[in-house]
Structure 1
């Protein structure tokens, strides 16, 4: 088993004036405590604690200082401090919250002082989404985090560690591509070709697709009624419970997808590239259709990080027409029914085929053909795309009367 460690990058999204002021207060108090402890020549945690204990900082920042200052003086032999030290928090200090139904999905709780914390919307590095998913799911361990400002923008760097099995040295040509199709009827469908080139051992999670569709419909119908009646808090609590149920389904299905891949010799999981899915989201009034886009991204992320843990590579391919082309002859066909694909080529032996399996085989074949891994034309993706924005976590308050001042949304 191999241990992987990575620093995750998150940009805090346009904090309002109140939160900027609180972030600066935290930074100024931290810098002052750091300089005073360093100037006092603290070489032990006890000595550093005696200096920093009275500063208006959270215990997570004080504990980080107690460890860091002795390192500066005894390990790094620092002669002086520069002015741009980030604010450090111990691993217990930061908290993540994932609101996949929102336009901004990720939120972080940043400690200000003992009884006051700031919830901030955050934009992660998109290439690290799988790590963030693993951290949020408890499949990776959070280490120290660092808060800093650069050119007027606030950032967080979070250390994350997880275990991964070392993969064997296998060339791309030796890999068996497993197509992963994500859709409405079947939540996920996987299939690969055997040694003779025939599609084999398809597996469909159709019942799970029905469950997610039911939960989505319940969520949007019930919460809209509650919001219309002014019951925002009840709607949010009800919504959180349904999102948790959907998330449980996603985690179980993605684990089973990776288990399927483990049963295949030298597997590589092949997904459609959804790089531009958020840029083309529909924010229209039909809310019961708005969840599908984030569902694609969330399932992709969970498959990626769970596959990495097992040493299984994951690749992406151009999604153009993967559900419209015949996997046998390449002719563009159609779906007379949701679960049925019909080839329009009279000379093709296939005729009709299970539509999701046909799509999964096409996705696997894109890997074998070496086709571009990036979408070249915005309209080429035939997957459903949408998204939504609801509410975000709220800041903790020592004075409850401040709640109205900050409002409902973390911004």
Structure 2
């Protein structure tokens, strides 16, 4: 049995003038509270609580803020905020109602402030009907939700988690670990070993890595020039279009990764643990900006949920030395070029090897050697070390959200979220 998390989209249908005004009031108050807590440098929930408690928001929005702002400071080292953040609500914030006899079947209760809520009809992605019905029947767990306005229309994105049966009940000895290396040169690289231990069927998405790098460079260059001309709104609109193109690449590539795994007997996809990747990124200001802004988290999340939907297990390992060690002899080597690994052992048959494939094999080998981490285990370890308790007499308002959204730090773009 495994878990899969999906982002469901609801489009709010023709809210009245009064309800539109209330939605805008909620958005404005949320963004003001977010800016204030971020500017105050709040790096714990208790510190954020002292700021956001004064704003006219529901407890669900305040609690989401108190979780979100410390993450911006502690995990993502953000130095500025986008001015159009969606309103976040914790897992108990929304309520769904289903009236299948009506032309518009779904209704959602959106929190406005502590004593006032808005019931609004909503249309859903028809491909997500089964998920919404599971959520309504309590067969899926509701996570964080996000409210935002785009082109005059209001949307709700809701994360939902449900259990799925594993496709393979193979033992660890019978499994085929497939290493998944995510990078800038090749967007994703996968490889596994055959029964004799030889690396087989490496596949690289190098062309897509190049395409995404080009789009990102275009985005940053155009944004800087447009902002210098005072065209901030045009810059944002142009940026959204480019990020939509990047999202399309991500979705296609991660789907193809899962299709690769489906073609292997008893597969398990092995990813690098993002916790260690974030901690090890210290390559100078320029490279840090590029790598921290790279789509590691989004690619990981999409591979996880798409694999789990098909019943393919996913594991994570510490990425230590996966790019430095030779997959054949274990000696450390060098990277004379971005895509080339050179083994330092003169007696090793490898000599020079494709660097991303070498990394993918090492990732798979870490899992084969018995090192893997489940998400729940990592969450427990992280919580034990976090300073997010209510200290100094501060109190939190409303219930806390215990659900970890697979794409927490990525704003969902596009008409339908998958």
Aligned to 1:141: 131
Residues of 1 paired with 2:94 and 2:326: CA distance? Answer: 62
Aligned partners of 2:335 and 2:341 also within 8 Å: yes
Q: CA deviation at 1:171?
A: 1.1
Report the secondary structure of 1:216's partner residue: helix
Aligned residues: 281
**307-316 vs 225-234, which moves further:** 225-234
Listed as ranges, the matches of 1:108-123 within 5 Å are 113=118
Match of 1:232 in 2: 232
CA deviations 1:90-144 (Å, max 9, x no partner) are 764569xxxxxxxxxxxxxxx95489xxxxxxxxxxxxxxxxxxx9x96983446
How do residues 256-267 of structure 1 correspond to structure 2 at under 5 angstroms? 256-267=256-267
Q: Deviations over 1:199-244 (max 9, x none)?
A: 0000000100110000010011110111222211111111111111
Aligned to 1:248: 248
Distance of 1:363 and 1:234 partners within structure 2:
42
Partner of 1:355: 355
Contact 1:216 1:291 (C-alpha < 8 Å) held by counterparts: no
1:330 aligned onto 2:326: no
CA distance in 2, matches of 1:303, 1:146: 19
CA distance in 1, matches of 2:95, 2:317: 46
Q: Does 1:202 align with 2:205?
A: no
Q: Displacement of 1:173 after TM fit?
A: 1.6
Residue number in structure 1 paired with 2:416: none
SS at match of 1:221: helix
| Cα distance change of structure 1 residues 279 and 138 upon mapping to structure 2, 3 Å threshold | farther
Aligned 8 A contact 1:272 1:318 in 2: yes
Distance 2:345 2:264 in 1: 32
Find the aligned partners of 1:278 and 1:312 in 2 and give their Cα distance: 26
Alpha-carbon distance, 1:169 to partner: 1.8
Taking structure 2 as the reference length, what is the TM-score of the superposition?
A: 0.56
2: CA distance, partners of 1:315 / 1:65: 36
Q: Distance in 1 between matches of 2:350 and 2:203?
A: 19
How many Å separate the matches in 1 of 2:213 and 2:251? 16
Q: How does 1:62-211 map to 2 (within 5 A)?
A: 92=108, 113=118, 141-142=131-132, 143=135, 160=160, 164=164, 166-211=166-211
Call closer, same or farther: CA 1:233–1:218 in 2, change over 3 Å: same
Matched, 1:296 2:286: no
Contact 1:179 1:363 in 2 (8 A): yes
- Structure 1 contact 181–189 (Cα < 8 Å) conserved: yes
Q: Which moved more, 1:366-375 or 1:202-211?
A: 366-375
Q: 1:62 Cα deviation (Å)? A: 11
Q: Distance in 1 between matches of 2:293 and 2:175?
A: 29
TM-score (norm 1): 0.57
- C-alpha contact 1:185 1:339 (8 A) present in aligned 2: yes
Unmatched segments (≥5 aa) in structure 1 = 28-60, 68-89, 96-110, 116-134, 149-155, 377-388, 394-411
Q: Does 1:21 align with 2:56?
A: yes
Contact 1:220 1:287 in 2 (8 A): no
Larger Rg: 1
